[in-house]
Amino acid sequence: MRIPNTIRFILQSILLGLTAAAVILLIWPALSRHGGDSMDPGAAQTGSYSAAVNSAAPAVVNIYASKLLQPQINPLLQDPLLQRFFGLPQPAPNRRRDNNMGSGVIMNNAGYVLTNAHVIQGMDEIRITLNDGQQSAAEVVGIDADTDLAVLKVSLDNLPVIPIGNSDELHVGDVVLAIGNPYDFGQTVTQGIVSAKGRKRMGITTIEDFIQTDADINPGNSGGALITANGRLVGINTAIISNTGGSQGIGLATPVNLALNVMQQLIKNGYVIRGWLGIEVQVLSADARREIGLQQGGVLVAGVLKDGPADQAGVIPGDIILKVGGKAASNPQQVIEMISGLTPGAFEEILLLRGWEQITLNARIAERPQFTQ
Burial of 275 (0-12, 13-18, 19+ CB in 10 A): buried
What's the confidence (pLDDT) of residue 199? Answer: 82
- Per-residue model confidence as pLDDT tens digits over 188-201: 999 999 999 988 77
What's the confidence (pLDDT) of residue 54? Answer: 94
Compute CA distances 7 → 52, 131, 311, whole Å. Answer: 57, 70, 93
What's the confidence (pLDDT) of residue 297? Answer: 83
- Per-residue model confidence as pLDDT tens digits over 37-84: 444 544 544 578 999 999 999 999 999 998 887 666 656 556 666 565
CA distance 116 to 102: 8
State the catalytic residues: 118, 148, 222
What's the confidence (pLDDT) of residue 159? Answer: 95
CB atoms within 10 A of CB 282: 12
**Pairing mode, strands 175-180 and 139-144:** unpaired
> Tell me: domain 275-367, CATH 2.30.42.10, correct?
yes
**Dihedrals phi, psi of 97, to nearest 5 degrees:** -110, 140
Burial of 204 (0-12, 13-18, 19+ CB in 10 A): middle
pTM of the model: 0.74
Domains in the chain: boundaries: 48-71+96-272, 275-367
What's the confidence (pLDDT) of residue 292? Answer: 84
Burial of 308 (0-12, 13-18, 19+ CB in 10 A): middle
> Tell me: domain 48-71+96-272, CATH 2.40.10.120, correct?
yes
Contact 367, 275 (CB under 8 A): yes
What's the confidence (pLDDT) of residue 35? Answer: 40
What's the confidence (pLDDT) of residue 15? Answer: 64
Low-confidence ranges of the chain (pLDDT < 50): 1, 30-39, 41-42, 44-45, 373
Supply the DSSP string of 50-118, one letter for each residue: HHHHHHHGGGEEEEEEEEEEPPP--GGGG-HHHHHHH-SPPPPPPPEEEEEEEEEEE-STT-EEEEEHH
What's the confidence (pLDDT) of residue 42? Answer: 44
What's the confidence (pLDDT) of residue 82? Answer: 57
Burial of 162 (0-12, 13-18, 19+ CB in 10 A): buried
Q: Is the Cα torsion angle 242, 246, 249, 254 positive or negative in sign? A: positive
